[in-house]
Structure 1
């Protein structure tokens, strides 16, 4: 299982894995080889291809450049069913194949078909301690400081750990910031969620804590609706393997497509690629759409929504929470508390979304184009530490981003997210 490298595009690099027992293939794709550190999730999914991983790795680089970190994008995964017998063993062999990369350059997270706790257990069994151990050397941490910060991911803030909450917490923060931009307040905000997996559940938890109402939830099995808002705490106690229509014994159960016909204030797409058809986009009643899933809508759908005046937070902003949380965990000069990691993340996302949507309105451009412009103009310091350089990282006073404003467009000062 030696790593064999080959160029995938003019700037990408791929390592190919063939499992010696199951015969399935896996890949690690580096989108670039510039910085000390590359970061991305690990996916286990039947039918997974190197082309898919290539596109996702490129998306990861976009997220890092928008954030202003000195990190390259990457993505890895195995073409295997995570529910099949032997899946854990396959994943363990894949991580062993990536041992050198994990020790030197690749910071791994979870993705479809994997859980962060599972990846950490396998890394511990391998004797390397963590799938994020490459951060230690790249950031210049001592063993003790890295262990201190890494342990914060397992610390509870409320009912869940920082690791379980971070990506969904960022989605919730993006939802509130986008809604505020459109003139809504968080108290009583009506939110529709497509997807109630790890991301959707964590987003619902934070939104409910802030006073928003999750009034519709859908997945591939169906949609359930409650205009008064669901009991999110009760929903989160239910078996996560059950379809959403069975979570509460709720009487009003509808087809999945109905979610896109409901008059919610914000529709959050946290489940699958290409979640809206052009036909649905043309009549979607929601005035705000937050795309949290990678490639959650096509460029055509985004164009239709934007032309209709719908506020759209693109996927590489709405789904940036995993990357952004690494900045709030490893970037501060002193070790934050578990709550501070999430508070900093909330402030970072608030400033980022406010910056992008404000500039989109001022410049008459889609938010995705503004974010792409930010990414293209981002300075990268390959020899610098990966984290701690994001202009959106709150510094103790208030978020201080507005990179678009620095280019000559005046910025409004914003207070806290709520």
Structure 2
């Protein structure tokens, strides 16, 4: 990284934003396409009470960064633009599924041509797939098909990968957390902290938080606290992550009947107060603000959730030496794995997939932390510099929307990624 790769800090306005109002319940939903690459964008769909347009806009911009971060001109996968969807409705609302159906029906033209999406906070992929099938929509990633050499083969490969089981948990539910864990472990190495001497606390025990806890524990880190929607379970000697992972419910709820002697419970807010080296917010946005950051003891915050740390809090944490690994870095592996698999950069072998995730995340995190140290900036600023450089390379190759470029003018296919 050189000085001229640091980010300018400028965030352009989104390409498109849509607000939808449910005619039955009055609930609102949103789609924001931050940018398009070859006419397509990527980003998940979340359902939560209180979801706002500003939230979705920020998440969409984060997806543009997450996509660009993994650009490698040698890969068949070329990063897409960033997008995000959100519905202001609790997933526990008895009308949630019908609200989801009306929302998806309303935005189906975007799904068909410009927005590829998948599960996010409060929404599982199988639910999304079922509702889309009921609407006669082929897939949540239909917009990507024109960019594939063989869409049928690619879809079969991705379906096979989604069926791969790794020690009782689907590979698709593990790769994101593996990426978060690998990023955190690389940061531990950067700080010279031994893995077996480190303690971790994870807020959220769904796909991302559960997998992060699993891989941290496998690396020798003691997971001393786990938080779900009903509170915190903790043990200073380390929780039995595997036992709790196999018995959690579909939305990441911990089965308290599976706690061992020595495990205790605390209120939901207590996760911030537990002494640890690694803190993983893996559930909700905006949960570490100016007031909360003073309670954090961790040396590393690995943002498995999207936008969990507010800027003022991050500045204060950085000033006292806490490394904040930004969301668009730490939680980027799920997105990358989807596209690596779909485009054929990797197959369905779990060991090879996990190795690629580990290699990509450790290299990326190490480069960003080294660059941040060299230039006296935060890890986020260093990562934004990498994003800016990669976005420039992508635009030079494929052009901005409506502008020609060498590959773009020749159809933008994948026959020769060079």
Bin for the TM-score computed over the shorter chain: 0.7 to 0.9
Q: Secondary structure at the match of 1:109?
A: coil
Q: 1:375 aligns with which of 366, 387, 397?
A: 387
Q: How has the CA–CA distance of structure 1 residues 254 and 326 changed in structure 2, closer, same or farther, with 3 Å as cutoff? A: same
Cα displacement (A) at 1:389: 7.3
After superposition, give the CA deviation of every residue in 1:24-80 in whole Å (9 maximum; x if it has no partner): 232221112343320111112223222221121111112112222431111112222
What runs of 5+ residues in structure 1 fail to find an aligned partner? 1-8, 391-418
Pairing 1:180–2:189 present = yes
Q: 2:99 aligns with which of 90, 95, 109?
A: 90
Q: 2:377 aligns with which of 351, 365, 386?
A: 365
Q: Secondary structure at the match of 2:195?
A: coil
> Which residue of structure 2 lines up, in the alignment, with residue 35 of structure 1?
38
> Which residue of structure 2 lines up, in the alignment, with residue 409 of structure 1?
none
Q: How has the CA–CA distance of structure 1 residues 311 and 334 changed in structure 2, closer, same or farther, with 3 Å as cutoff? A: closer
Number of corresponding residues? 382
Q: Distance in 1 between matches of 2:224 and 2:171?
A: 25
Contact 1:224–1:245 (Cα < 8 Å) also in 2: no
Pairing 1:301–2:313 present = yes
> Which residue of structure 2 lines up, in the alignment, with residue 212 of structure 1?
221
Q: Is the deviation greater in 108-117 or in 183-192?
A: 183-192
> Which residue of structure 1 lines up, in the alignment, with residue 79 of structure 2?
70
Pairing 1:80–2:89 present = yes
Q: Is the deviation greater in 56-65 or in 202-211?
A: 202-211
Q: Secondary structure at the match of 1:22?
A: coil
Q: How has the CA–CA distance of structure 1 residues 385 and 268 changed in structure 2, closer, same or farther, with 3 Å as cutoff? A: farther
> Which residue of structure 2 lines up, in the alignment, with residue 235 of structure 1?
244
Contact 1:194–1:271 (Cα < 8 Å) also in 2: yes
> Which residue of structure 2 lines up, in the alignment, with residue 18 of structure 1?
21
Structural RMSD (CA): 2.7
Contact 1:57–1:74 (Cα < 8 Å) also in 2: yes
Matches within 5 A, 1:214-363: 214-219=223-228, 221-240=230-249, 244=254, 246=256, 248-249=258-259, 251-282=263-294, 284-333=296-345, 335-363=347-375
Q: Is the deviation greater in 334-343 or in 187-196?
A: 334-343
Q: Secondary structure at the match of 1:346?
A: helix
Q: How has the CA–CA distance of structure 1 residues 63 and 387 changed in structure 2, closer, same or farther, with 3 Å as cutoff? A: farther
Contact 1:53–1:77 (Cα < 8 Å) also in 2: yes
Contact 1:190–1:213 (Cα < 8 Å) also in 2: yes
Contact 1:62–1:316 (Cα < 8 Å) also in 2: yes
Q: Distance in 2 between matches of 1:203 and 1:84?
A: 28
Cα displacement (A) at 1:117: 1.4
Q: Distance in 1 between matches of 2:415 and 2:294?
A: 41
What TM-score, normalized to structure 2? Answer: 0.82
After superposition, give the CA deviation of every residue in 1:188-235 in whole Å (9 maximum; x if it has no partner): 532111222332112112223333321112346433321221111211
Q: Secondary structure at the match of 1:26?
A: strand
Contact 2:206–2:253 (Cα < 8 Å) also in 1: no
Q: How has the CA–CA distance of structure 1 residues 20 and 197 changed in structure 2, closer, same or farther, with 3 Å as cutoff? A: same
Q: Secondary structure at the match of 2:36?
A: coil
Pairing 1:52–2:64 present = no
**Higher RCO structure, 1 or 2 (CA under 8 Å, sep 6+):** 2
Contact 1:330–1:387 (Cα < 8 Å) also in 2: no
Q: Is the deviation greater in 293-302 or in 230-239?
A: 230-239
Q: Secondary structure at the match of 2:56?
A: helix
Cα displacement (A) at 1:288: 1.6
Contact 2:148–2:154 (Cα < 8 Å) also in 1: no
Q: Distance in 2 between matches of 1:83 and 1:266?
A: 31
What TM-score, normalized to structure 1? Answer: 0.82
Cα displacement (A) at 1:257: 4.2
What runs of 5+ residues in structure 2 fail to find an aligned partner? 1-11, 72-77, 399-407
After superposition, give the CA deviation of every residue in 1:265-310 in whole Å (9 maximum; x if it has no partner): 2111112223234344346322222122111111111111111112
Q: Secondary structure at the match of 2:238?
A: coil
Contact 2:19–2:28 (Cα < 8 Å) also in 1: yes
Q: Is the deviation greater in 26-35 or in 256-265?
A: 256-265
